[in-house]
Amino acid sequence: MPVPVSVQICTLNEADNIEACLESVFSSNPEEVVVIDGGSTDGTREIAQRIGARVLNPGRLGLGPLRKLGYMSARTST
């Protein structure tokens, strides 16, 4: 049974790291994992989608706005 938490990860060109990061996160069985990408050009989004994360691609807003977007788009309400 999934743990009732939403994990949001802000990224920008993290293709070298995102797979290991997401595998670690998914090993805890969260209800949802959202990657909020700041405009990566290296395949970060594609890797995250392949692994099973929901990916948002708002572009280069800055870290604060990306975090807020992740929080506002969470489907887990507990």
What's the domain range around 54? Answer: 3-73
Judge whether 41 lies within some domain.
Answer: yes
* pLDDT at residue 33 in the model: 96
Number of domains in the chain: 1
Judge whether 58 lies within some domain.
Answer: yes
Contact indicator for 33, 25 with CB cutoff of 8 Å: yes
pTM confidence score: 0.89
pLDDT band at 77 (very low <50, low <70, confident <90, very high): low
Judge whether 28 lies within some domain.
Answer: yes
30-47 confidence digits (pLDDT tens): 999 999 999 999 999 999
Contact indicator for 5, 31 with CB cutoff of 8 Å: yes
Judge whether 14 lies within some domain.
Answer: yes
Judge whether 43 lies within some domain.
Answer: yes
Judge whether 78 lies within some domain.
Answer: no
Contact indicator for 26, 5 with CB cutoff of 8 Å: no
